[in-house]
Structure 1
Amino acid sequence: MEELIKAIVVPLIDHPDQMLLTHEENAGVVTYTLTVSKKDIGKVIGKNGTVASAIRTVLNSATKNGEKIRFLIRE
């Protein structure tokens, strides 16, 4: 899943060297936290959250066996 997130996000941002992706599993929910440069945060979120929503849709479509995923974006 991490490779999928990176494949989606890296082409969108100008500073991929400042990107950090972590994941944590707690109570059956996997939380992916994406940290990007302050200059790139708007590109990843998109106008009215459209890009972030699209990323979440792709991640939920790629899950197996009803796995629950949260995707957080931080600067």
Structure 2
Amino acid sequence: MEKSNIEIMEDILVKLQDISNSQESLIEKVGVIQVELFNHPDKELENQLNKVLTQASNLHELIGTIIQEYEMKINNLKNA
């Protein structure tokens, strides 16, 4: 049986949440490396990781906004 439009949208939402979780994991891993660099300083790597962390954080925030908006869209369809 074919999935309904709402079911398809819910599947997409799960994938968006997975992307968000992956971004969170990336941010955490970069943070771990930054802590390790306290004992083994490498300014060039620190600067690059700061760039990665900034971009990853911005992307995580954007994905969060997309998820919220998509959840509202799904809820509006369910309540229509």
Q: What is the TM-score with the length of structure 2 in the denominator?
A: 0.31
Query: Which has the larger Rg?
Result: 2
Q: What is the TM-score with the length of structure 1 in the denominator?
A: 0.32
Identify the structure with the greater strand proportion. Answer: 1
Identify the structure with the greater helix proportion. Answer: 2
